[in-house]
Amino acid sequence: MKNKNYIKVMQNILHLLDEGVHVLDKDGNSIIYNDAMSNLEKMDTKDVLNKPFAEIFKNLDAKDSTLLQALYNNKSTINKSQTYLNKDGKKIATINTTVPIVDNGEIIAAVEVAKDITEMQEMSNKILELRKEIEQPNEVKELKIKKYRFNNLIGKSPNFRAVINIAKKAAKSSASVFIYGETGTGKELIAQSIHFDGVRQNKPFLAQNCAALPETLLEGILFGTAKGGFTGAVDRAGLFEQANGGTLLLDEINSMPYELQGKLLRVLQEDYIRRVGGSKDIPIDVRIIATVNEKAETLIKQGKLRSDLYYRLKIIAIDVPPLRERKEDILILADQFIDKHNQRYNKNVWMLSDKAKEKLMSYNYPGNVRELENIIMAAISMTDDENVLTDKQILIDDSNNAVKIDYGFSEIGVDKYLENLEKEIIKNTLITYQYNITKSAEYLKIKRQTLQHKMKKYNLTQATDNKS
């Protein structure tokens, strides 16, 4: 196949990509310009292909062109943010990677790949602007902001109360907090409670999900940008500056790119930030609360979380128990959600039927408290004039009803695994029926004497359970 045919094949293949691709030959002529790049820059492909780059893009200075810098100065540019006006005058934001192609020491081409992040850039700018507005005194806006405090956190189970006690102690200091908990366990509610019932309650509380944005945008949102730092950059304060004196919640911090985690660590150690593209050091006083939904040790082994950042953040560690480990709280939470969604949907539900309670108590809740609320919300929204929610209205996928607990089967063997499983089922049943032996035995379909024997075997008296 001739070289000309290779280029034609590549042009057709690259039309299938979402990213824009622009390739110059050694003479500076455009030999590949795909549809994505054409749509981005609003240039017709036929007006660009086989023509000198400098002639088509007359208004672009050679020193500002990453393609020309790659072609003539052998300069690579990796993941660079650029903002410019396309042919239609629309402001476009991209992340570009541009590299020279070298053969036998000679540059024979330059390739640029551009990802359109215009919508993401607009979104991130809007986030910063809205957060800035929120911090400005405005009673109407303030009323719309839901602030959670410790009295909003419902639960009486010993392991949950232990977590709340640690969180209340954390609220009395400004030390960093590292919160682990499965999805839906209420990590952000605990983080907000630490702030709004803590020593910084009159200062800003800001939150950012680290998985929501790519690295380039996330860095700008956290640290701000300096005018002239990169093409199209403006002076804008980031979340660290906006949260100065207060608290910054970094949700899913393990989703933050590894290199950016290193920059965050440096900020925590030195107590100052430098805007992206800036040279001025800006002192900050921000408390960090970080959350993850997987065990930190696992994330570190997988290379998703820097160990040095983890130990710097884990001055106070909080492990939020999943709902399946705090069964005593299920019906308490369900009653709270009934009250909440009665008001939301203008309903008048008073209570749950006994069978509805049994159904709720026997479920394992992989989605934790958030899933329980969704179940109650769905049931309330579908009622007419009923005052009692029945088991028929509690919509739970029966295939998920089996208790799914990992006791390390491969390590302990089948006998111990089944013994642990039996203990958990009996314990949950006793809690459901408030340690009524007759009802519990009927539900388990075993004799009273057998149940009492197993309770003694597993030390499942009501007194000992309340202490666990």
| pLDDT at res. 88 | 66
Q: What confidence category does residue 119 fall into, taking pLDDT thresholds of 50, 70 and 90? A: low
Structure tokens at 151: 């009295």
Q: Taking 90 as the threshold, does the pLDDT of residue 248 lie above it?
A: yes
Of 78-82, 128-132, 339-343, the range with the highest mean pLDDT is 339-343
Whose tokens are 């459901």? That residue is 432
Query: Which pLDDT value is given to residue 132?
Result: 56
- The predicted pLDDT at position 403 comes to 44
Q: State the average pLDDT for the chain.
A: 83
Specify the pLDDT at position 236: 83
Question: Taking Cα atoms as reference points, which of 467, 401, 419, 428 lies closest to residue 325?
Answer: 428
- Averaged pLDDT for residues 307-311: 94
Token pair, residue 222, equals 């956290």
Angle between helices 354-361 and 330-345 (to 10 degrees): 120
Q: How many residues does the chain have?
A: 468
Structure tokens at 370: 């958030």
Domains along the chain?
A: 3-116 (3.30.450.20), 121-319 (3.40.50.300), 326-400 (1.10.8.60), 409-457 (1.10.10)
CA–CA separation, 372 and 368 (whole Å): 7
Answer yes or no: pTM beyond 0.75. no
Question: CA-to-CA distance for 259 and 392, rounded, in angstroms?
Answer: 51
User: Can you tell me the mean pLDDT for 74-86?
Assistant: 78
Burial 16-27 (b: 16+ CB within 10 A, else e): eeebbbbbbbbe
Q: Looking at 168-172, 403-407, 417-421, which range is the least confident one?
A: 403-407
Q: Is the pLDDT at 191 greater than 90, yes or no? A: yes
15 contacts 23 by C-beta, under 8 angstroms: no
Q: Quick check: 41 pLDDT over 90? A: no
The pLDDT, as a whole number, for residue 422 is 83
Local confidence band at 38 (pLDDT 50, 70, 90 cut-offs):
confident
**Radius of gyration for the chain, computed over Cα atoms and rounded to the nearest angstrom:** 29
Mean pLDDT of 401-421: 60
Distance (Å, whole) CA 194 – CA 316: 12
275-296 average pLDDT score:
91
pLDDT at 305 over 70: yes
Backbone angles phi, psi at 33, to 5 degrees: -155, 100
Q: In the Cβ-directed half-sphere of 246, how many Cα atoms lie within 13 Å?
A: 22
CA–chain centroid gap for 338, Å, is 28
Distances (CA, A) of 33 to 16, 36, 41, 86, 429: 12, 8, 11, 15, 66
d(CA 47, CA 223): 40
Take residue 405 and report the two structure tokens written for it.
């607990």
Q: Which amino acid is at 255?
A: S
376 in Cβ contact with 332 (< 8 Å): no
Question: Within a 13 Å sphere around the CA of 299, how many CA atoms are in the beta-carbon half?
Answer: 21
**SS3 labels along the chain:** CCHHHHHHHHHHHHCCCCCEEEEEECCCEEEEECHHHHHHHCCCHHHHCCCEHHHHCCCCCHHHCHHHHHHHHCCCEEEEEEEEECCCCCEEEEEEEEEEEEECCEEEEEEEEEEECHHHHHHHHHHHHHHHHHHCCCHHHHHHCCCCCHHHCCCCCHHHHHHHHHHHHHCCCCCCEEEECCCCCCHHHHHHHHHHCCCCCCCCEEEEECCCCCHHHHHHHHHCECCCCCCCCCCECCHHHHCCCCEEEEECHHHCCHHHHHHHHHHHHHCEEECECCCCEEECCCEEEEEECCCHHHHHHCCCCCHHHHHHHCCEEEECCCHHHCHHHHHHHHHHHHHHHHHHHCCCCCEECHHHHHHHHCCCCCCHHHHHHHHHHHHHHCCCCCCEECCCCCCCCHHHCCCCCCCCHHHHHHHHHHHHHHHHHHHHHHHHCCCCHHHHHHHHCCCHHHHHHHHHHHCCCHHHHHHC
Percent of the residues in the chain that have a pLDDT greater than 70, as a whole number: 82
**What is the phi/psi pair of residue 131, to 5°?**
-65, -35
pLDDT digit string (tens) for 203-230? 999 999 888 677 777 888 899 888 755 5
Residue 419, token pair as written in the block? 């013994």
